[in-house]
C-alpha cells in the first residue's frame, strides 16, 4: 500500500516533537551526586550470559472488576462490570527486557500486577506461567517486584537496608553471614551505588539519597535474593532523563546476565526505547502491538503510519493512538484504523502464539521451586530482624520517644505541684479522686500516637510481605515488643514524680501497686490504639478515632458517672472500658482502709460525712478487689492484641 504524507504536516510535527525531545532528553545530572559514566554501563563482549530458562508467558489475559454505582442513602445501587484487560497475550524469554507502554488507564500496571501474581485470582481469566509453572505456584523467593513508589526506613543506610533484605531472603542454612554481606557488596557494586553504602536513605523532610539512588536501592532490595524474573512498575517515574538512562542501562545489563525483566513505562525517550528487546503497546486494555522492538516501526508503517525521521517512536505511537484526528499523522484513506484488529490479523500475533506454544512445550522449570518454603528464614529469625531494624530506627530517630518521656516528667512536676502534699481531710477527697483519674488519662492519651505509627508504616509492611520477606505474625510480635518499654517508662516516670509530691497512700506496697496498674493501663491503651491503627484506612482517621473512642471510654470510666446511677442501657460500656478497671484498681489501692479526719471548720459546717475510704469506694460503686481489676486489664490486653493480629491478617494485604 502506497502511503502519501503531506511533507509540511510531518515537518511541523517533527519540529514540535523534536523540540519536546530536546528538552526531555537533556542530560543534566539533577539529583545524582556521583554521576555514572554511561560507557561504564554499555554492554561489553562477554557480558551476556546464556541462561537456561526462566521464560514467562501470558495467554489470553482478561481482567474484570465490579464497580458499584449509586448513592447509598437513596437505595439505588447498580453494579457495572469494567473490562480492564481484554485478551492480552505475550512471551518474554530469559535474557530479554520487555517494556509495557500505553497511555494512562491503558492497563499497564494492572497487567504487571497480574504477571507478578499480585492481583489474586478474582476477576482474572487466562494463564500466566514461568517455565511451565503457574504464577500462583511460583515462589516469591524467585521473583522480584519494584514498585513505583519508593518506600523505605529512611534512617537506615544503604548497606543496612540491603543487609536486612539479605538476612530475610538468604537462608542461613545455605549462606553464612559473610556470604550474605558479600552478596550485599556485590549488589551495590553492580548498581554503582557502593560510594553511598553508608549514607542514610532519607525520608520526607530528612536529607538522604537522590531519587535515582533510591530507585537503585529499591532494585537492589530485590536483586539481593538473585531473582529469576524482575518486575518494575514505572522505574523512571520522577527521574530526570540522565538518571533514567543510567537506570535502564543497568537493567539491560542485568537482563543480559540471564534475568527476565518486565516493566511498565509511560513515555520512554528514544535512547531508552532502543534498549528494549520486546515491546507491548496497550490501548484501553487491548494489545495494539506485541513483539520485537525492532519490528514496531514496520508494523505501524504497514498501516499507513510511518514514524517520521528523527522522531521518538514511543511518543509517535502514543500520539497516534490518542489523537482524535489521525489525519494529521497520515494521508492514508482510512484514518479510523482499528490497531488492535490489525495486530490480531498480523504476522506478529501469529508469531506470538507460536512462541507461546513453543515455550509451553519446553521442559525448563524453576529450580526446585515447588519444594521451596514460602519464607527463606523461620519466623523467629524474622521477628529478630524486624526488632533489630526497629531498634535502629528508634535510636536514630528518638524524637517521639523523647517527647513522651519529657512530657511525662514535665507533666508529673506540674501535677505534683498543683496537688502538693494533700492531706486526709474532707476537702482533700475530691482532689485525690480527680488526681487518680487524671493519672490514668495521662497514661492513655499520650500513646494515641501508636495508631498513627502503625498506619504510617502500613505501605512498607504490605510491600515487604508481598515480596515474601516475612509473615504477619513476626510483624505483630515486633510491634508488641517494641511498644512495651515506652508504655512502662512513661507511666512509671509520671507516677513516681507525682506520687510522693502529692502524698498519696504512704505505703511502699501501695506505691508499687500503683506503678503496676498505671503501666498495665498504658499497655492496654497502646494495644487498643494499635487495633485502631490497624483498622483505620489512613493516619488521619486513626488519629481522630483514637481520641474520640478514648473520650467515650473516659465517660464510662467511673469518675463522671458512677455505676449506681448509670442508665441500664449504658452499663455494658462500663464493663468494656479499660479506664474504668484502672480507676477502680487505683481507687481501691488509695482509699481502702484509709481514715479521713475533719477540720474544725468542716465540723462546724457539719460537712464531716466521710470518715474512712471505704465509704468513698461505696459511693463510686467500687466493690471488687484490686486483683480482679488487674485480671480484667490483662484480659483486655490479650483481647486487643488478638484482635489486632486478626486485623493485620485481614486488612494488611500482601500487595504492591
Domains and CATH numbers, the chain: 39-149+227-371 (3.40.50.300), 379-651 (no CATH)
Q: Is the pLDDT of residue 656 over 60?
A: no
- What is the 3-class SS of 546-560, one letter each residue? HHHHHHHHHHCCCCC
Cα–Cα distance measured from residue 534 to residue 526, given in angstroms and rounded to the nearest whole number: 12
Encode pLDDT of 548-586 as tens digits: 999 999 999 888 887 778 888 888 898 899 999 999 999
Burial of 52 (0-12, 13-18, 19+ CB in 10 A): exposed
Mean of per-residue pLDDT scores for the chain:
84
> Could you give phi then psi for residue 512, rounded to 5 degrees?
-70, -30
Element (H, E) at 349: helix 347-361
Average pLDDT over residues 341-361: 87
Average pLDDT over residues 642-654: 85
Cα–Cα distance measured from residue 585 to residue 518, given in angstroms and rounded to the nearest whole number: 10
Encode pLDDT of 250-289 as tens digits: 899 888 888 899 999 988 888 999 999 999 999 989 999 9
Q: Is the pLDDT of residue 306 over 90?
A: no
The region of weakest confidence among 322-336, 473-487, 563-577 is 322-336
C-alpha cell of 560? 463522671
457 touches 155 (CB < 8 A) = no
Q: Which residues of 133-145 are buried (b: 16+ CB within 10 A; e: fewer)?
A: bebeebbbbbbbb
Q: Could you tell me which residue, 192 or 336, shows the higher pLDDT? A: 192
Cα 566 to chain centroid, rounded: 44
Q: Could you tell me which residue, 193 or 326, shows the higher pLDDT? A: 193
Average pLDDT over residues 125-139: 84
Residue 653 pLDDT grade (very low, low, confident, very high; cuts 50, 70, 90)? low
Encode pLDDT of 427-448 as tens digits: 888 899 999 999 999 989 989 9
Residue 326 pLDDT grade (very low, low, confident, very high; cuts 50, 70, 90)? low
Cα–Cα distance measured from residue 283 to residue 289, given in angstroms and rounded to the nearest whole number: 10
Q: Is the pLDDT of residue 628 over 90?
A: yes
pLDDT number for residue 27: 35
Amino acid at each position: 500500500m502506497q502511503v502519501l504524507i503531506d511533507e509540511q504536516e510531518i515537518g511541523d510535527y517533527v519540529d514540535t516533537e523534536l523540540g519536546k525531545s530536546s528538552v526531555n532528553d537533556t542530560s543534566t545530572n539533577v539529583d545524582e551526586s556521583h554521576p555514572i559514566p554511561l560507557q561504564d554501563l554499555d554492554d561489553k563482549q562477554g557480558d551476556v550470559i546464556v541462561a537456561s530458562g526462566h521464560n514467562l508467558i501470558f495467554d489470553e489475559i482478561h481482567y474484570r472488576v465490579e464497580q458499584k454505582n449509586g448513592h447509598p442513602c437513596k437505595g439505588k445501587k447498580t453494579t457495572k462490570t469494567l473490562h480492564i484487560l481484554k485478551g492480552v497475550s505475550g512471551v518474554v524469554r530469559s535474557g530479554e527486557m520487555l517494556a509495557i507502554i500505553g497511555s494512562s488507564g491503558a492497563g499497564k500496571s494492572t497487567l504487571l500486577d497480574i504477571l507478578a501474581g499480585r492481583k489474586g485470582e478474582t476477576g482474572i481469566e487466562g494463564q500466566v506461567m514461568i517455565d511451565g509453572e503457574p504464577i500462583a505456584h511460583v515462589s516469591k523467593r524467585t521473583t522480584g517486584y519494584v514498585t513505583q513508589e519508593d518506600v523505605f526506613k529512611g534512617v537506615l543506610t544503604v548497606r543496612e537496608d540491603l543487609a536486612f533484605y539479605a538476612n530475610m531472603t538468604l537462608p542461613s542454612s545455605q549462606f553464612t553471614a559473610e556470604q550474605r554481606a558479600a552478596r550485599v557488596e556485590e549488589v551495590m557494586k553492580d548498581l554503582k551505588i557502593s560510594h553511598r553504602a553508608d549514607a542514610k536513605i532519607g525520608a520526607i523532610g530528612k536529607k538522604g539519597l537522590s531519587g535515582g539512588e533510591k530507585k537503585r536501592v529499591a532494585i537492589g532490595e530485590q536483586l539481593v535474593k538473585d531473582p529469576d524474573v524482575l518486575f518494575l512498575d514505572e522505574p523512571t517515574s520522577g527521574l530526570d532523563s540522565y538518571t533514567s538512562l543510567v537506570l535502564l542501562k543497568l537493567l539491560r545489563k542485568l537482563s543480559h546476565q540471564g534475568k527476565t525483566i518486565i516493566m511498565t513505562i509511560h513515555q520512554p525517550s528514544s535512547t531508552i526505547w532502543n534498549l528494549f528487546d520486546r515491546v507491548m503497546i496497550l490501548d484501553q486494555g487491548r494489545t495494539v502491538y506485541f513483539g520485537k522492538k525492532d519490528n514496531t516501526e514496520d508494523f505501524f508503517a504497514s498501516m499507513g503510519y510511518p514514524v517520521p525521521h528523527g522522531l521518538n517512536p514511543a511518543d509517535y505511537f502514543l500520539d497516534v493512538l490518542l489523537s482524535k484526528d489521525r489525519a494529521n499523522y497520515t494521508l492514508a484513506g482510512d484514518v479510523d484504523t482499528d490497531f488492535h484488529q490489525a495486530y490480531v490479523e498480523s504476522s506478529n500475533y501469529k508469531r506470538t502464539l507460536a512462541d507461546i506454544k513453543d515455550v509451553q512445550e519446553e521442559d525448563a522449570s524453576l529450580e526446585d521451586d515447588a519444594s521451596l518454603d514460602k519464607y527463606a528464614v523461620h519466623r523467629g529469625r524474622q521477628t529478630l530482624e524486624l526488632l533489630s531494624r526497629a531498634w535502629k530506627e528508634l535510636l536514630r530517630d528518638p524524637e517521639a520517644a523523647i517527647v513522651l518521656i519529657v512530657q511525662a516528667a514535665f507533666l508529673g512536676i506540674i501535677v505534683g505541684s498543683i496537688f502538693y502534699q494533700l492531706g486526709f481531710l474532707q476537702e482533700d477527697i475530691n482532689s485525690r479522686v480527680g488526681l487518680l483519674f487524671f493519672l490514668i488519662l495521662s497514661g492513655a492519651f499520650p500513646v494515641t500516637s501508636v495508631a498513627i505509627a502503625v498506619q504510617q508504616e502500613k505501605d512498607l509492611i504490605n510491600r515487604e510481605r508481598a515480596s515474601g520477606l516475612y509473615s504477619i505474625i513476626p510483624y505483630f510480635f515486633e510491634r508488641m515488643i517494641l511498644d512495651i518499654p515506652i508504655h512502662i517508662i512513661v507511666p512509671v516516670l509520671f507516677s513516681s514524680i507525682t506520687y510522693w509530691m502529692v502524698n498519696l497512700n504512704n505505703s511502699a506496697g501501695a506505691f508499687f501497686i500503683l506503678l503496676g496498674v498505671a503501666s498495665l493501663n498504658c499497655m492496654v491503651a497502646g494495644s487498643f490504639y494499635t487495633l485502631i491503627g490497624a483498622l483505620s484506612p489512613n493516619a488521619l482517621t486513626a488519629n481522630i478515632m483514637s481520641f474520640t473512642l478514648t473520650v467515650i471510654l473516659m465517660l464510662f470510666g467511673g469518675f463522671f458517672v458512677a455505676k449506681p446511677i448509670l442508665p441500664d442501657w449504658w452499663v455494658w460500656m462500663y464493663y468494656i472500658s479499660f479506664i474504668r478497671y484502672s480507676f477502680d484498681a487505683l481507687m481501691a489501692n488509695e482509699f481502702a482502709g484509709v481514715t479521713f479526719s475533719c477540720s474544725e471548720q468542716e465540723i462546724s459546717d457539719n460537712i464531716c460525712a466521710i470518715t474512712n475510704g471505704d465509704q468513698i469506694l461505696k459511693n463510686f460503686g467500687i466493690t471488687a478487689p484490686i486483683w480482679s481489676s488487674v485480671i480484667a486489664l490483662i484480659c483486655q490486653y490479650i483481647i486487643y492484641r488478638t484482635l489486632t493480629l486478626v486485623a493485620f491478617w485481614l486488612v494488611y494485604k500482601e500487595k504492591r
